[in-house]
């Protein structure tokens, strides 16, 4: 029985496609991979004990839920990145205290820069700093 299934899988072009996809970088299961695997499972199931329709529906619901979670996660990452940009821009013209190694730097944020790689930096007293190093923000005329 096992030999019959393995020989039918070897002749099946879908099986070869699944094997090729397994070799690609990342080795994460995509929706197409799942559908091909499920199709192979259904095509090669034991006729005396076929897959129940509730199992099939459950598996489809699980993969759809997983895909929606991945899309939500990507959307949230995009939102978080844009929010970080907006927060850094709100520092413009504000007096900030920045922890720079063992010393504290105080000054007004003169500019906000975004590098080609997407990293944000604030410019204080002519020097660039990571916004995460800011420990205090106040109105530019406020005395600390």
Among 55, 54, 51, 17, residue whose Cα is nearest residue 37: 17
* Cα distance between residue 52 and residue 67, in whole Å: 23
pTM higher than 0.85 = no
3-state class (DSSP) for residue 103: strand
User: What string of DSSP letters covers 66-112?
Assistant: HHHHHHHHHHHHHHHHHHHHHHHHHTTT-EEEEEETTEEEEEEEEEE
pLDDT in tens, 34-60: 778 778 877 888 777 776 777 777 877
Q: Which two tokens stand for residue 39?
A: 């199709």
3-state class (DSSP) for residue 113: strand
Cβ–Cβ < 8 Å for 121, 141: no
pLDDT tens for the 144 residues of the chain, in order:
455 444 554 555 555 555 555 555 555 667 777 778 778 877 888 777 776 777 777 877 888 888 889 899 999 988 887 787 788 888 888 999 999 888 899 999 999 988 888 888 899 999 999 888 899 988 865 545
Q: Which two tokens stand for residue 10?
A: 């070897």
Q: Which two tokens stand for residue 49?
A: 């004990």
């Amino acid at each position: 029985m096992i030999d019959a299934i393995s020989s039918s899988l070897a002749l099946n072009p879908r099986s070869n496609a699944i094997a090729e996809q397994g070799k690609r970088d990342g080795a994460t299961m995509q929706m197409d991979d799942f559908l091909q695997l499920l199709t192979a499972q259904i095509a090669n199931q034991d006729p005396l004990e076929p897959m129940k329709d509730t199992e099939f529906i459950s598996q489809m619901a699980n993969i759809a839920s997983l895909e929606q979670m991945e899309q939500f996660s990507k959307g949230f990452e995009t939102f978080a990145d844009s929010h970080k940009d907006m927060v850094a821009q709100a520092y413009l013209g504000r007096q900030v205290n920045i922890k720079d190694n063992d010393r504290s730097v105080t000054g007004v944020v003169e500019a906000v820069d975004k590098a080609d790689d997407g990293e944000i930096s604030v410019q204080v007293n002519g020097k660039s700093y990571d916004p995460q190093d800011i420990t205090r923000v106040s109105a530019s005329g406020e005395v600390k």
